[in-house]
Structure 1
Amino acid sequence: MDYQFLQLDIQQQRATVWLNRGELHNAFNSQLIAELHHCFDALNNREDIRVVILAGRGKSFSAGADLNWMKQAGQASPEENQADALKLAKMLQRIATLKQPTIARVHGVALGGGMGLAAACDICIASDNAQFATSEVRLGLAPSTISPYVIRAIGARQAYRYFLTAERISAEQAEKLGLVHEVTTLEQLDCKIDELIQAILLGGPFAQHASKQLIDLVAGQSIDEQLLQRTAQHIAMLRQGTEAKQGLNAFLNKQRPEWTQATQQQGS
């Protein structure tokens, strides 16, 4: 598919999805939402892609929703309005449930839906000039569709403050809140992401997908007999799999597991 507002850059085992409305600080409209959903859906079906980076062209990661699009949606029928909002919710879910590890590369502003995109990714690395905000209340709105991912990242208590005040959050503060995993300079941003990618490529792809599912299974649950059974089933299933057998044999024989061989060949 040819994208109007995205650029897809695939190098070796990584895919970088660039939001490409730089002149509008990568604000998204219905077209960009549809393109993001399609792009991540396609990447989810690719076995050759091990990690996906979400980034923004221009001065900003994403300023959130295009206000003209939001205004038009509000003037539509209730059914059309809800269907439009559901497309945004489904796009965020598609990113959040991707089988591959995802990294948000954040610089400049990540406001409203832009902060939601960053929170929906597994890992968020930000430059020291990055600023975040759930700015919706200042427009008479609420951070509805992004709320599951932002609350997952910063917790309900902090969400009460920032959902209500819409304060700008510096990169340093976002790291303290748990939204950002690491802050670096803009010049070092790609180097830090490369370090993370190299660490990711050492892990088994199926195991990483299973680990993402495990977090959803365990987070917020009581440690009771049911959870013990489910986690025991989870590891038992993995131990019987081909990937685990290859990985354990490789470790015991002081060899590289199969999934790292492609990386080794590309780097040689």
Structure 2
Amino acid sequence: MRIDLTGKSALVTGSTQGIGRAIAAGLAAAGATVAVNGRRPETVAEAVAALSADLGEGAGGFTAAPGDVSTDEGADAVVEAAGPVDILVNNLGIFGASPALAITDAEWRRYFEVNVLAAVRMIRALLPGMKERGHGRVLNIASDSAVVTPAEMVHYGVSKTALLAVSRGFAKDAAGTGVTVNSVLAGPTHTGGVEDFVYQLVDRSLPWDEAQRAFMREHRPQSLLQRLIEPEEIAHMVVYLSSPFASATTGGAVRVDGGYVDAILP
């Protein structure tokens, strides 16, 4: 299967590092022109330069779209910089361990602002154009935590559960227009942020390979993959769902979780 996204424009929020950066690279490798997003212009410029240097012949390219999409002003700036978008990937998200009873109202609000409302804000801005053009893809990067609420970060899990409903609701809004809206349930993934999170839960003196194994054994024992997922593996699914091959997939929560969720359906 050769996926060709030549001529398509994409925007990936939170794409200067981790899963978002891998998604941006994957979409561009398939031919799309990808707007890279982050809060700081200098960080975005560095990511665009590095991604462009790694790009092969016949691929798309990258543009800079800095701004904090968890605010109205930042989202407006990103939308203006990105221009018309065929593929919107709402990847921006925050996570962290905290005892359930210690999570304050302010922290609950922050998680909803970044993990839920930022996606809603971007969909509200860009979905109308997709509907008018009769084609588009909206992909919200959710998590296995949307289905299996983790005791150590309840606020994160609840925010990702809400994102599943956001995806389903906007898929209904786009019904019959040629635009699809889906969630991607990403499982435990190897990123710099996750390395920090792992060391919040296991002995910091352990080398990374041992720490990762201890984390999966003690905190994610139901994973069938029995290892952390690499960001590129999440990107492969996103690129597929962005393509014409996924034209009949909408309103769904597609799993790239390493078999972590112990259910036939999400």
TM-score, normalising length: structure 1: 0.31
Greater Rg, structure 1 or structure 2? 1
Identify the structure with the greater helix proportion.
1
If asked which structure has higher relative contact order (CA below 8 Å, sep 6+), I would say 2
